[in-house]
Chains A and B, each alone.
Chain A
Amino acid sequence: MTLPRLTRAEMLWVLLLAASVLLAALAHVFPVLRGFPAGLTLPLADWANAVLTPLVEALRPLGRLVSAAVEGPLEAIRAALAWLPWPATVLLVAALALQAGGRGLAVFAAAALGLVVAMGYWPKAMNTLALVLISVPLAVGIGFALGALAHRFPKLQPALVVLLDVMQTWPAFGYLIPLLLLFGFGPTAGLAASVVFSIPPMVRNTLVGLRGVPPAIVESALMAGATPAQLFWQARVPSALPQLLVGVNQTTMASLSMVIIIAIIGGFDDIGWEVLSAMRAAELGRSLGAGLVIVLIAVLLDRITRGFAARGRRTGRRVLWIGAAAALVLAVALAGQDLLPGDAGQRSLRRLDGWLLDFVAWSAPFFGLLRNAITYGVMLPMRLGFSGSASPMVWGFALTPAIIAAYALASLALALWLGRRRPMRGIAFGFAALLVWTGLPGFPWPGVFALAGVACWRAGGPGLCALALAGLALAGVSGLWAPMMQSIYLCAVAVLISFALGGALGVLAAESDRFSALLRPVSDALQTMPQFVFLIPALMLFKVGEFTALIAIVLYAVVPPIRYVEHGLRSVRADLVEAAVQMGATPRQMLWQVKLPLARPSVRLGLNQTIMAALSMLVIAALVGTRELGQQVYVALSKADAGAGMIAGGIIACIALVADRLLRTPGEAPGRTD
């Protein structure tokens, strides 16, 4: 067997692999190579506090001013929604829905809101709506301004894009303490976090929209003698409007999801608070009911804003005016009457808890087996590695020199065999074998630096490389190396499972319209249902620990691959499919050799979004007892340590940025053989 000639890039990876193997072997003798050495840590959190505290103190008067300015209108909207009798509100929303999406949507709106009333969540739902009604215009306004500014001065764009990514990936709990100091206890702190999180989609869509304005329109406006202001407001903005409305839609959804999470502050008695209280009491029925309310509100807001986005500016608003007038009449006629039903809805929701417990009792042996199988088979090897988990207690044999040698030889032989034609395959297998040996968190830290540095350099140039190394150094120096590796390990396992499962579901959905229609509401619900709701049944079936965290993450991160894979496969050009059929491709060949390769950009984007979703769940998953960065964010919160929270959150944002850039830039990352 002759080895193929290696390119320079392949040589580099072979060298890195050899160095990593050597480091891993040495780590058994020198433990200093395993975890980041404690001697190199610095009191970074204290330094951050030394900067943050005076800064926040100085900005405090301004923050309080903003609070006062925001809370006035917020209180007014809340009072108005509380005053409006629910039949009037339902009528108004139904009229809006009729205008935006036709009769079907109007019926759905009425039914959905009726269910909210029946379940006994109406006042809380209206409080949440008040929060969204304040946060969305703020986010849309700021986002539009930023987008327009970046369009006018394109030099700002690279910095802005990084800023937007940070805003979307930095966990809100990480900067909660400074927000509270700045704005005081109250809804403003939560609203600020929500606005920060929901600005980015508006900026992105504004940029895309303004960029896409046809030059002909701009030219004809200029020929007609338009001033710069006229050119912008009367030519560019109207023709970018559909894209701007897409931005409004996405901003609304982002805002709603953050308003729920940030309810942890309290002070507004909204539906997010209800979800949190139910989670705290571990009551499935109550939290599922509250979660359902959020799903219904989200779907309604989504369909209504999307309906307006699709129709753009339309005349003929008679229906809306008639509806509004009727609602007003109802409001005056019914004012002050207590029309809300009692707590019958709540009581029937509570019955769910009994059913869940019956199910837990009945299914305990099965789920116990499943939990043990995945813990032994996947989690422990990934966490401790073969070297750490191979003990008579766990796998039934001890780690003797003979077994070590056998493992090394078998890995080497397989790597050579796999790499005989495509060397990168062999190299990738070599890394995998090494990872299984050490476990992800136990991989020697100098090796992590070297690998991340080289991979990022090759994929994204010196900037990305610097970012990755800075993030790793930040984690190491602040003493968070182990939690960071735990986070990466948990996310890696979750992404593997989510992507395989979601991808398979996406393929099925692309093949069958009926399955797709069945899957869509499930995906919608999984994505908008507050993630806290999943935690209760997962906890009861799988107990506190990483495995439950994994389930919770997978349930959320499984949605992007479903959507993107289906979308990618469905948009493969029909003529290419036709050509493959005529060449006699079997269904399997069609999928693997025609459709999936053609859908690669979409699939890659799906993988990217899966990783983002998994990372964003880390902080939520910490509520079931994990040892990763999300947990550090809570510990910092309980200590009122703004600096530590910012650092832990910053490392999560850094991981997200690097993962995003690695997958976004097509380049020669390991494992890519073409």
Chain B
Amino acid sequence: MTRKSINAAVSAFALAAMGFGPAHAADPGATGDTIRIAMLEWTGAQITSQVVGRVLEKAGYKVEYVTAGNYPHFQGLADGEIAVSPEIWLNNVGDIYPKALEAGQIEDLGTLGLQTNEGWIYPKFMEELCPALPSWEALNDPDCVAQLATPDTLPNGRFLDYPSDWGSRAATIIADNNLPLTAVPSGSEGAMLAELRAAEAAKTPLVMMFWAPHFILAEVEVGWIEMPPCVDQSNEHCIMPPDVNKVVWSGFAEKWPAAHEVLKSFRLSTEDQQQMMLAIEQGQSLEAVADGWIAANEAAWRPWVDAALQ
């Protein structure tokens, strides 16, 4: 038995065990037509796109990477101008995504497999200023809050929130727990990163809303605040790790059936993505890093391809 067929057997078994049923070969479909993959603005999504693209190439497809803005690209997905967007953070999709999903213009292919995290972070040096950290109780300590206060928020401490257009629960949670903080919307991701870097460099206190995996976490050492108990488990009052899913154009399954199967089984782990982010941060090119993943992880992607094609 060749290694390939062992892999195929293992993957068939694995898929059966996971409840997918026996692997059935799918028609490759229009392999002559290029599959256009969205490359969104952040490093993590670009890595995922490049890796997905390479796996699809291994399955015999032609791919093209299209740079795209997060909100505008949903229109492209809905029209089929973009075929796949492999890393969509469901906590940051505005109203565009549910609208398109409801209209049947896009199809959600389920989780990408990233272990995500979301919550309140602070640069690690703050544990000296507010000894009660990482407990949320630290934010009730007047000494700690006084260090966070700015002219805009006096007498409260300043809490850096997500941009207004992302929607955020921080203000609600602050109110739920009567914390002496004022949530200030940050305007953009770049603004949040700039503040975090500056806070670390100048050792100025900062508490902000953030998420993981993110490349900045390899650069700045942060702590995650242990959150107060939620008033109720709704999305309004409670922060839960966001889902990150793969989304395709609704006509994808019909045009490229086998690629559809590959995408359904595609997973990328947080550790792998973070390692690749770090490599890029250290000066490697995106393409080289993605090639490296493909070379090192054949055992992971070969079964997806084989199961779809054989």
**Is there an interface contact between A185 and B72, defined as CB atoms closer than 8 Å?**
yes
Q: How far is the CA of A540 from the CA of B194 in the complex (A)?
A: 6
Q: Which residues of B contact A350 (CB under 8 A)?
A: 283
**Is there an interface contact between A280 and B189, defined as CB atoms closer than 8 Å?**
yes
**B49–chain A nearest beta-carbon distance, Å:** 12
**Is there an interface contact between B68 and A276, defined as CB atoms closer than 8 Å?**
no
Q: Does A186 contact B (CB under 8 A)?
A: yes
Which of B74-82, B169-177, B265-273, B298-306 lies at the interface with chain A? B74-82
**A464–chain B nearest beta-carbon distance, Å:** 33
Among B71, B154, B167, B192, chain A packs the most CB atoms within 10 A around the CB of B71
**A357–chain B nearest beta-carbon distance, Å:** 4
Q: Does A372 contact B (CB under 8 A)?
A: yes
Neighbour of A360 across the interface among B150, B188, B190, B198, CB < 8 A: B198
Q: Does B99 contact A (CB under 8 A)?
A: yes
Q: A624-B188, A625-B191 are in contact. Are A343 and B283 (CB under 8 A)?
A: yes
**Is there an interface contact between A185 and B75, defined as CB atoms closer than 8 Å?**
yes
**Is there an interface contact between A635 and B164, defined as CB atoms closer than 8 Å?**
yes
Q: Closest A-chain residue to B155, C-beta based?
A: A393
Q: How far is the CA of A581 from the CA of B39 in the complex (A)?
A: 66
Q: Closest A-chain residue to B167, C-beta based?
A: A638
**Is there an interface contact between B79 and A184, defined as CB atoms closer than 8 Å?**
yes
**Is there an interface contact between A181 and B75, defined as CB atoms closer than 8 Å?**
yes
Q: Which residues of A contact B66 (CB under 8 A)?
A: 266-267
**Is there an interface contact between B198 and A541, defined as CB atoms closer than 8 Å?**
yes
Neighbour of B197 across the interface among A357, A364, A637, CB < 8 A: A357
Q: How far is the CA of A539 from the CA of B199 in the complex (A)?
A: 11
Q: Which residues of A contact B16 (CB under 8 A)?
A: none
Q: Closest B-chain residue to A540, C-beta based?
A: B198
Which of B104-112, B179-187, B230-238 lies at the interface with chain A? B179-187
A 620-649 binary contact with B (CB < 8 Å = 1; else 0): 001111110001001101111100000000
**Is there an interface contact between B198 and A634, defined as CB atoms closer than 8 Å?**
no
**A395–chain B nearest beta-carbon distance, Å:** 11
Q: How far is the CA of A654 from the CA of B242 in the complex (A)?
A: 40
Q: Closest A-chain residue to B68, C-beta based?
A: A266
How many residues does chain B have at the interface if contact means C-beta atoms less than 8 Å apart? Answer: 54
Q: Which residues of B contact A393 (CB under 8 A)?
A: 154-155
**Is there an interface contact between A638 and B95, defined as CB atoms closer than 8 Å?**
yes
Q: How far is the CA of A660 from the CA of B191 in the complex (A)?
A: 32
Among B67, B79, B155, B160, chain A packs the most CB atoms within 10 A around the CB of B67
B 184-228 binary contact with A (CB < 8 Å = 1; else 0): 111111111111011001111000000000010000000000000
Q: Does B41 contact A (CB under 8 A)?
A: yes
**Is there an interface contact between A640 and B187, defined as CB atoms closer than 8 Å?**
no
Q: Does A347 contact B (CB under 8 A)?
A: yes
Q: A343-B285, A347-B283, A360-B201 are in contact. Are A640 and B152 (CB under 8 A)?
A: no
Q: Does A380 contact B (CB under 8 A)?
A: yes
Among A350, A638, A639, chain B packs the most CB atoms within 10 A around the CB of A638
Q: Does B96 contact A (CB under 8 A)?
A: yes
Q: Closest B-chain residue to A190, C-beta based?
A: B72
Q: Closest A-chain residue to B165, C-beta based?
A: A638
Q: Does A394 contact B (CB under 8 A)?
A: yes
Among B77, B187, B204, chain A packs the most CB atoms within 10 A around the CB of B187
Q: How far is the CA of A634 from the CA of B162 in the complex (A)?
A: 13
Q: How far is the CA of A277 from the CA of B283 in the complex (A)?
A: 16
**B106–chain A nearest beta-carbon distance, Å:** 13
Q: How far is the CA of A279 from the CA of B188 in the complex (A)?
A: 9
**Is there an interface contact between B76 and A186, defined as CB atoms closer than 8 Å?**
yes
Q: Does B73 contact A (CB under 8 A)?
A: yes
Q: A266-B66, A376-B151 are in contact. Are A281 and B191 (CB under 8 A)?
A: no
Q: Which residues of B contact A277 (CB under 8 A)?
A: 41
**Is there an interface contact between A184 and B75, defined as CB atoms closer than 8 Å?**
yes
Q: Closest A-chain residue to B200, C-beta based?
A: A357
Within 8 A of A (CB), among B21-36: none
Q: How far is the CA of A543 from the CA of B95 in the complex (A)?
A: 29
**Is there an interface contact between A185 and B71, defined as CB atoms closer than 8 Å?**
no
Among A267, A358, A535, chain B packs the most CB atoms within 10 A around the CB of A267
Within 8 A of B (CB), among A509-546: 535-536, 539-541, 543-546
Q: Which residues of B contact A411 (CB under 8 A)?
A: none
**Is there an interface contact between A544 and B187, defined as CB atoms closer than 8 Å?**
yes
How many contacts between A and B, using CB within 8 angstroms? 170
**Is there an interface contact between A543 and B68, defined as CB atoms closer than 8 Å?**
no
Q: A347-B283, A625-B185 are in contact. Are A535 and B204 (CB under 8 A)?
A: no
Neighbour of B151 across the interface among A268, A372, A544, CB < 8 A: A372
Q: Does A310 contact B (CB under 8 A)?
A: no
A 347-370 binary contact with B (CB < 8 Å = 1; else 0): 100100000011011001000100
**Is there an interface contact between A639 and B94, defined as CB atoms closer than 8 Å?**
yes
Q: Closest A-chain residue to B94, C-beta based?
A: A638
Q: Closest B-chain residue to A640, C-beta based?
A: B96
**Is there an interface contact between A180 and B75, defined as CB atoms closer than 8 Å?**
yes
**Is there an interface contact between A540 and B41, defined as CB atoms closer than 8 Å?**
no
Neighbour of B71 across the interface among A361, A536, A540, A640, CB < 8 A: A640
Q: How far is the CA of A474 from the CA of B19 in the complex (A)?
A: 57
A 256-294 binary contact with B (CB < 8 Å = 1; else 0): 000000001111110001001101111000000000000
**A644–chain B nearest beta-carbon distance, Å:** 11
**Is there an interface contact between B41 and A280, defined as CB atoms closer than 8 Å?**
yes
Q: Which residues of B contact A186 (CB under 8 A)?
A: 76, 81
Q: A375-B151, A638-B165 are in contact. Are A185 and B76 (CB under 8 A)?
A: yes
Q: Does B20 contact A (CB under 8 A)?
A: no
Q: How far is the CA of A641 from the CA of B191 in the complex (A)?
A: 24
Q: Closest A-chain residue to B153, C-beta based?
A: A545
**Is there an interface contact between B185 and A268, defined as CB atoms closer than 8 Å?**
no
Neighbour of B165 across the interface among A535, A624, A634, CB < 8 A: A634
**Is there an interface contact between A544 and B69, defined as CB atoms closer than 8 Å?**
no
Q: How far is the CA of A176 from the CA of B68 in the complex (A)?
A: 14
**Is there an interface contact between B285 and A185, defined as CB atoms closer than 8 Å?**
no
Q: Which residues of A contact B215 (CB under 8 A)?
A: 281
Among B73, B82, B163, chain A packs the most CB atoms within 10 A around the CB of B163
Q: Closest A-chain residue to B189, C-beta based?
A: A280
**Is there an interface contact between B75 and A282, defined as CB atoms closer than 8 Å?**
no
Neighbour of B76 across the interface among A184, A343, A376, CB < 8 A: A184
Among A268, A394, A539, A541, chain B packs the most CB atoms within 10 A around the CB of A539
Q: Which residues of A contact B77 (CB under 8 A)?
A: 185
**Is there an interface contact between B190 and A536, defined as CB atoms closer than 8 Å?**
yes
**B286–chain A nearest beta-carbon distance, Å:** 11
Q: How far is the CA of A625 from the CA of B182 in the complex (A)?
A: 14
**Is there an interface contact between B81 and A280, defined as CB atoms closer than 8 Å?**
no
**Is there an interface contact between B67 and A267, defined as CB atoms closer than 8 Å?**
yes
**Is there an interface contact between B42 and A622, defined as CB atoms closer than 8 Å?**
no
Q: Which residues of B contact A358 (CB under 8 A)?
A: 201
Q: How far is the CA of A539 from the CA of B82 in the complex (A)?
A: 34
Q: Closest B-chain residue to A354, C-beta based?
A: B201
B 32-69 binary contact with A (CB < 8 Å = 1; else 0): 00000001011100000000000000000000001111
**Is there an interface contact between A280 and B163, defined as CB atoms closer than 8 Å?**
no
Neighbour of B195 across the interface among A276, A364, A543, A627, CB < 8 A: A543
- Extra contacts besides A543-B198, A624-B186 (17): CB < 8 Å: A180-B72, A185-B68, A185-B75, A189-B72, A267-B67, A279-B190, A282-B197, A343-B285, A347-B283, A364-B202, A539-B194, A544-B195, A624-B187, A624-B191, A625-B188, A637-B165, A638-B94
The 5 A-B pairs at the shortest CB distance, nearest first, are namely: A185-B76, A364-B202, A625-B187, A282-B193, A638-B94
Pull 30 A–B residue pairs with CB atoms less than 8 Å apart, ordered by A.
A184-B81, A185-B77, A266-B66, A266-B68, A266-B73, A268-B67, A276-B69, A279-B188, A279-B190, A280-B42, A280-B188, A280-B189, A282-B191, A380-B151, A535-B194, A540-B198, A543-B195, A544-B186, A544-B192, A545-B150, A624-B187, A625-B163, A625-B164, A631-B164, A631-B165, A631-B185, A635-B164, A638-B94, A638-B165, A639-B96
